[in-house]
Structure 1
Amino acid sequence: MITAQPLTAQRFALFGDVLDCNGDPDKLINQGLCGRFHDRAKLDFTDGHAGVSLFQAQPRNLPYTLDLLERHPRGSQAFIPMSLDEFLIITAENAGDRPGKIHAFLSTPGQAINFHRGTWHGVLTPLHAPGLFAVIDRIGDGDNLQEHWLETPVTITRD
């Protein structure tokens, strides 16, 4: 069993970037009425181009049974919720051609994430409807998905 931890930039650094508006904006724009939190995610693609898609995922519940991890070897993948709801983020350390130690995080409203290219992660797991996310990832030819089914499912719980 794995207990999901609060999502912080420090805890998530091995797997990707946390996108949020913590601290002061990098600069003020639009006549000083808009704070710009600049360049918060490292988009990384081997080929192809960055695309913005919309995903609508069915909400899940905690405890959550994890049986599948995936990764994208040709590009990073950012998940940006389009509502102010928490969501579950599951990652795994890289053990070569398979996932290693599994980690789980709970976002807070206003947080988004960007998985580094090649990071093992769970599927998009909203905990509330509507489960609508903007996703920035690689668009291009060639297979960019590797899946790994767990021999023994893992239960993810809330703190």
Structure 2
Amino acid sequence: MTLATIHAQPLTSQAFAPFGDVLEAQGAPDKVINQGNCGRFHDRAALDFGPGGRAGVSVFDAEPRTLPYKLEMVERHPEGSQAFLPMHSHPWLVIVAEAGDVPGQIHAFLASAGQGVNFHRGTWHGVLTPLHAPGLFAVVDRIGETPNLQEHWLDQPVLIAPAPM
């Protein structure tokens, strides 16, 4: 069986906007703080923890994957946003799907060193997918009493490949 192939594109704020926020230090900082020694890129994510939720910071240590990557399942968090902040300096893979009761068209992005993402509440996305060890990420998401994870197994897996040169 031949799998549908999607090419991972560079992660940009504009391309990722329908799914969430790109977290990076690009352009001039909003403020310069700490006696002029630190640029602050202020309030870059629309964090959403929903009713009855609170912010939680966790550390994930994910096994690295390789490209091409076979995508079989996506997930979403209906009660709040989820931010992935790499604790390393390596590129990593970000996979999202267009909105709906079931995932729509799949999109893949290659995040550069220094880029994190915040998935908006309810955004279908792939699991944390580092491409190099260590796969350490700080994750900011909703902590609460209600279930906040829905998984959807794809009818047909999708192959995620690097963008052609």
User: In which range does the TM-score fall when normalised by the shorter chain?
Assistant: over 0.9
Where do 4+ consecutive residues of structure 1 move more than 3 Å?
none
Aligned match for 1:59, one of 56, 61, 64:
64
State which of 18, 22, 27 in structure 2 corresponds to 1:23: 27
| CA distances 1:31-76 after superposition (whole Å, capped 9, x unpaired) | 1111100001010121310010000000000000000000000000
Q: How many residues align?
A: 158
Identify which of 43, 51, 55 aligns with 1:50.
Answer: 55
Give the Cα–Cα distance (whole angstroms) in 2 for the partners of residues 46 and 38 of structure 1: 22
Measured in 2, the distance between the counterparts of 1:63 and 1:55 equals 23
TM-score normalised per structure 1: 0.98
SS at match of 2:88: coil
Alignment pair present for 1:138 and 2:142: yes
How far the C-alpha of 1:114 sits from its partner, in A, is 0.3
What is the root-mean-square deviation in Å for CA atoms of aligned residues? Answer: 0.5
How far is 1:18 from its partner?
A: 0.2
Q: Distance in 2 between matches of 1:35 and 1:3?
A: 34
Residue number in structure 2 paired with 1:88: 93
Give unpaired runs (5+ residues) of structure 1. Answer: none
Query: Shift of the alpha carbon at 1:116?
Result: 0.3
Deviation per residue, 1:103-153 (Å, 9 max, x gap): 000001110000000000000000000100000000010110001000110
Which residue in the other structure is 1:113 paired with?
117
Instruction: Give yes or no for the alignment of 1:76 onto 2:81.
Output: yes
Task: Output the TM-score relative to the length of structure 2.
Answer: 0.95
1:100 to 91, 104, 115: 104
**Sequence identity of aligned pairs in percent?**
68
Q: Does 1:147 align with 2:157?
A: no
Residue in structure 2 matched with residue 126 of structure 1 by the alignment = 130
Listed as ranges, the gaps of 5+ residues in structure 2 are: none
